[in-house]
Amino acid sequence: MSKIKLSETFIKERVKLALAEDLYPHGDITSSLLNKNKIVTAKLKSNQKAVVAGLLFAKHAFSLIDKKIKFTIKKKDGSLVKKNSLIATIKGNANSILIAERVALNFLSHISGIATKTNQFVKLVGKKCKICCTRKTIPNYRVIQKYAVKLGGGTNHRFNLSDEFLIKDNHIASSNIRELVSLAIKNKKGKKITVEVDNLKQLKEIIGLKFNTILFDNMNIKNLRAGVKLSKKYYETEASGNINLKTIKSVANTGVNRVSIGSITHSAPAIDFKLEI
């Protein structure tokens, strides 16, 4: 998989775009009413139990507005916090703090939301299997969302279409499953190969061919367990398909090596943070 990098330069670029969106075209016309010399200390707190993630995004939201603002982190990225926990303190010009407030909280809320939802799945399965994200991400924000998954204890699946061969149902519907797998093996050039099946008949057509992972999509528990049993001496096994917090344990109990879950990125609820002056 492509290496995910979240350098300070990358973070600043994303935050700059968000600030520009919020300040176009005339800046914060409300905060401009405040005394320009007023120095305050604000407390950043969590309104709920959560995994905190994205603190550097929040920090740079303030520093890009005003380099004199002091952002003191009280909880580390990836840490589990309780309701009303103090996450950070922000000291500086009141006008500057209020200009950056919403952008800082938006990044923090979204990234923490993904980390928190991922962690809920991870805790339910323990070491039985890996919880993986998918490509169901906000366009141009995939690297941030996959970073959040890692902070929640999850595992990153392929980053993009070039990372590995993933032969899915629509590929198979457009060709022949055994021919496609054979072509992938012939052209793999060091890339991993994953093959998606939605029934045991498809599995039996390709079992024994030399690829890496078999992905069972939308299979019931009985067939999933049978598929894992047939495959485990040949391949890494993976399950996917509308798996949620109520069903994850039964899926993990089949012995599957990993589970890919789109909802941890595409529909994770934002975490509620507040900034108090």
196 is catalytic: yes
Active-site annotation holds for 77: no
Write down the catalytic residue from 91, 102, 232, 274.
Answer: 102
Taking CB atoms within 8 Å and a gap of at least 24, the contacts of 121-124 are: 121/154, 121/245, 121/248, 121/259, 121/261, 121/264, 122/152, 122/153, 122/154, 123/153, 124/245, 124/248, 124/249, 124/252
Of the candidates 90, 127, 152, the one whose C-alpha atom is nearest the C-alpha of residue 253 is: 127
The catalytic residue among 74, 75, 91, 168 is: 168
Give, as one character, the DSSP assignment of residue 27. -
User: For residue 151, what are its two tokens?
Assistant: 């902070």
Q: Which of 74, 75, 136, 178 is flagged as catalytic?
A: 136
Q: Which of 142, 196, 225, 258 is catalytic?
A: 196
Helix (H, G, I), strand (E, B) or coil at 9: helix
Catalytic residue among 22, 169, 205, 217: 217
168 is an active site residue: yes
Q: How many residues does the chain have?
A: 277
Provide CB contacts within 8 A for 78, sequence distance 6+. 51, 52, 53, 115, 151, 152
* Catalytic residue ranges: 102, 136, 168, 196, 217
